[in-house]
Amino acid sequence: MAKYRYLPMTEADEKAMLDVIGVQSVEELFCDIPESIRFKREYDLKPAKSEPNLLRELAQLAAQNVNTLENASFLGAGVYNHYIPTIVDHVISRSEFYTAYTPYQPEISQGELQAIFEFQTMIAELTGMELANSSMYDGGTALAEGAMLAAGHTKRKKILVSETVHPESISVLKTYAAGQHIEVELIPETDGVTNQEKLKAALNEEVAAVVLQYPNFYGQVEPLADLETFIHENKSLLVVSSNPLALGVLTPPGSLGADVVTGDTQVFGIPESFGGPHCGYFAVSKKLMRKVPGRLVGETVDENGKRGYVLTLQAREQHIRRDKATSNICSNQALNALASSVAMVALGRNGLSEMAKQNIDKSHYAKKRFLEKGFDVLFSDAFFNEFVIRLREPVAKVNEELVKDGFIGGLDLSVYSEKYQQHMLVCVTEMRTKEEIDAFVDRLEGVK
């Protein structure tokens, strides 16, 4: 019998392999490694436990986590606490989806391919773009891929990115750009939105694209229609990172002239999960469809006229040969994309719009309550579900106290910017009740 439950190799298996190799023992395999540098002590690990005792210990550790089931969360900044229809988990837990691998063989992958096709269709409709791919790792990598597409398409070597884009997405973009020898220049933020005059001044014939976020990191809705005109006059592309839930009420970026729209569908059917995994989306105008990274599923008919789905516009080699690839990303988040698809279908067009409207209404109610209590609330009323308040104490300290009262506080902006010491980014989604909002504001009144 196997000595270890999860290492099921028997002694007979081991002997058979050694016989084939032609050695007498496992030790003999390491004879070329000097004795003086071999590891000859026990690993510094706790003694093994029985399965019941191990499960109990893990449950006790998990119980120490602060979670959004027991605490009212006002934390957003890219990872949001939203309503997830119960049906989502039921569908994605089906074995044909839960264990599915890459759908290169369409004859046995029709269910998976159709699910991806539906995801693409809904994302294209939400963003106002002509097509979307089958999903990407997350919003940050999707945005970076959009910028790299723009550089390749325009054959230019500079990307302008607004300071109002999520700082972590900017970091990912810089990492991608370094490998491609592409310059990334930051455009300053003024009053929570992109400084238009600074952006105009930075545009030149070297700029491949301008990267904006809509709504942006501070929750503000950037005036894309105003910015798009002079960006395209410079023959640069407009790459927009967008919260797809907000597009239930905002004008889609595609209708405002965006060339590439990316983002994260975590807002639809995907739990926060301490930051991931999530599901990036990537949508483009038709002129760019052959330069889309990742996979693209198309609808066709077979020789009998029966509807079918296939990977299209790209050969498999495009994913695995570096010299022919549009990108070295060849995977997608199919299971999470399915979760988002099920959530969007369960909500429906009207439900999605209502959910987005509740985010606006509840967050604006919260802002009103903060103002009534004398808080300094920054920027304009043109925001979706996040806004910035100033406190008189460090946000990290305040958040530690809030947890004791059952609240998860907003994001400490000082982590990302010296400019915003003692500033909190507050997020209010449809999950927050009037009572929770009022209690949160009252609890913070002492540090305004």
**224 is a domain residue:** yes
Same domain, 287 and 330: yes
* CATH number of the CATH domain containing 123: 3.40.640.10
**114 is a domain residue:** yes
Contacts of 199 (CB under 8 A, 6+ apart): 160, 162, 187, 210, 227, 230
**64 is a domain residue:** no
In DSSP terms, which residues pair with 309 in a beta bridge?
Answer: 299
Q: Which of 312, 342, 372 is the last residue of a domain?
A: 342
pLDDT at 347: 97
Residue 67 is given by DSSP the state -
Same domain, 100 and 44: no
pLDDT at 2 over 60: no
Same domain, 330 and 421: no
Q: What is the pLDDT of residues 57-68, one digit of tens each?
A: 999 999 999 999
How many H-runs (helices) and E-runs (strands) does the chain carry?
Answer: 13, 17
Same domain, 107 and 241: yes
Model confidence at 408, pLDDT cuts 50, 70, 90, reads very high
Same domain, 246 and 268: yes
pLDDT at 265 over 90: yes
**1 is a domain residue:** no
Task: Tell me which of 14 and 386 has the higher pLDDT.
Answer: 386
Same domain, 298 and 424: no
Give the HSE-up count for residue 82: Cα atoms under 13 Å, Cβ half-sphere.
28
**431 is a domain residue:** yes
pLDDT at 448: 67
Same domain, 220 and 259: yes
Model confidence at 8, pLDDT cuts 50, 70, 90, reads confident
**99 is a domain residue:** yes
Token pair in block for residue 153 = 């398409």
Model confidence at 382, pLDDT cuts 50, 70, 90, reads very high
Same domain, 325 and 363: no
pLDDT at 32: 92
Same domain, 77 and 96: no
**How many structural domains does the chain have?**
3
- Cα distance between residue 20 and residue 57, in whole Å: 42
Same domain, 291 and 329: yes
pLDDT at 230 over 70: yes
Same domain, 18 and 158: no
Work out the percent of the chain whose per-residue pLDDT is above 90. 80
Model confidence at 333, pLDDT cuts 50, 70, 90, reads confident
pLDDT at 1: 46
Same domain, 198 and 109: yes
**335 is a domain residue:** yes
User: Per mean pLDDT, which of 302-311, 317-326, 390-399 is the most reliable?
Assistant: 390-399
Domain interval for residue 240? 87-342
**337 is a domain residue:** yes
Which range among 91-95, 200-204, 316-320 shows the weakest confidence by mean pLDDT?
316-320
Q: Which of 342, 372, 398 is the last residue of a domain?
A: 342
Query: For 259-316, where are the alpha helices, taking DSSP H only?
Result: none
Q: What are the C-alpha distances in Å from 318 to residues 176, 299, 302, 327, 328?
A: 19, 20, 24, 8, 9
Q: Which of 342, 369, 400 is the last residue of a domain?
A: 342
* CATH number of the CATH domain containing 439: 3.90.1150.10
Model confidence at 261, pLDDT cuts 50, 70, 90, reads very high
Please state the rounded mean pLDDT for residues 364-384. Answer: 97
